[in-house]
Structure 1
Amino acid sequence: MKTLTINLIGIYMIVAMAACQGSHRHVVIKTGDNYNMTCIEYWGRVVFNTEGTGILHISPNGSVKYSHDNQQLVAESDYRGHITYRINGGEKEQQLSPPEKLFVASAIKEMIKHGHNDH
C-alpha cells in the first residue's frame, strides 16, 4: 500500500509538472567573455513576429531580459498579456520611439541568433 501511494504521488507530480511546463519555463542564455557579454533571460513563452523585429506575445506575467555590453531591454507582460518595455533602466512604456524600436529589433535579432526561436 505504501509503494502504491508513493507511485501515485510520483505520477501526480510528473503530470503537474508537464501541465505547467509551457507557461512557467525559465531560460537563460549567456555568451561572450569578460569584454563582450550577451545575456538573454526569459520566463514563460515569448513570441516574436515573423520578421524577427518585434514581440508579438509574452505569456501572462512573463518577461524577457536582454543585455549586451551597457545596453539593456526588459519586456514584461501583465496578467492580461499587455507588454511594457524598459530600455536601459528607463521608465516602463508601452509605446516605443523610432530609435527604441530599432534597438528592440536589434536585440530580438541577437536573441534569435543566440538560440531563442519562438517566432
Structure 2
Amino acid sequence: MKKIQQFMALAGLMLLATACRFGGRHTTIIENADGRTVKIEYRGQTYFTEDGKAIKAISPHGSVSCSINSDDLVAENDNGKIVYEINGGGKQTNLDDYGKEFLARAVHEMIKRGHNNDR
C-alpha cells in the first residue's frame, strides 16, 4: 500500500511539473479594439534587439507567438537557434523581406504591451 501511495505522489508531481512547463511562465495577452485583434502568447523569456525590431534570443524551451488580425508569427528556441513560422508557411531560420517587416511589427506590438517588462 505504501508503494502505491509513493507512486501516486510521484506521478502527481510529474504531472504538475509537466503542466507548469517546469516552472516556466506562460502568458497570453488578447486585445480587440477598433476592428483590430492582437494576440500575444509566450512561454519563457524572449529578448529583443536594441532597435526593437527583431528577436535576439529565446530561453530554452521558450516560444512566442503574435497574431495581428489574420497574420501569425511563431518563434521558438530550437537548440539555441530561433526558428520562425509565419502564416503557417513552414519553419525557417532566415526571413524574407515580408517576414522581417512582420517580425518588426510583432516585436513593436509586444514591447508596446509590456512583454517581458518585468526583467
Between the two structures, name the one with larger relative contact order (CA 8 Å, sep ≥ 6). Answer: 1
Structure number with the higher strand fraction is: 2
TM-score, structure 1 as length reference = 0.75
Q: Return the TM-score normalized by structure 2.
A: 0.75
Q: Which runs of 5+ in 2 are unaligned?
A: 1-16
CA contact (8 A) 1:61 1:81 kept: no
1:88 is aligned to 87
Q: Is the 8 A contact 1:49 1:56 kept in 2?
A: yes
> Residue 99 of structure 2 corresponds to which residue in structure 1?
100
Q: Counterpart of 1:109 in structure 2: which amino acid?
A: H
Q: Take 1:112 and 1:91, find their aligned partners in 2: how far apart are those partners?
A: 25
Cross-structure match for 2:5: none
Identity %: 43
Deviation at 1:33, TM superposition (A): 4.3
Give the aligned partner of residue 47 of structure 1.
47
Tell me how far 1:35 sits from its aligned partner. Answer: 3.1
- In the TM superposition, what whole-angstrom CA distance separates every residue of 1:63-90 from its partner, at most 9, and x where no partner exists? 0000011000000112x22110000111
Report the AA paired with residue 54 of structure 1. A
Aligned runs of 1:13-92 on 2, under 5 Å? 21=23, 24-33=24-33, 35-78=35-78, 80-92=79-91
> Unmatched 5+ residue regions in structure 1?
1-16
Deviations 1:30-62 (A, max 9, x none): 111483211000000000011110101101111
Distance of 1:60 and 1:34 partners within structure 2: 36
Structural mapping, 1:5-16, within 5 Å: none
> How many residues get paired?
99
Deviation string, structure 1 residues 15-34 (Cα, Å, up to 9, x no partner): xx9xx65xx11111111148
Which residue of structure 1 aligns with residue 3 of structure 2? none
Query: Shift of the alpha carbon at 1:117?
Result: 3.8
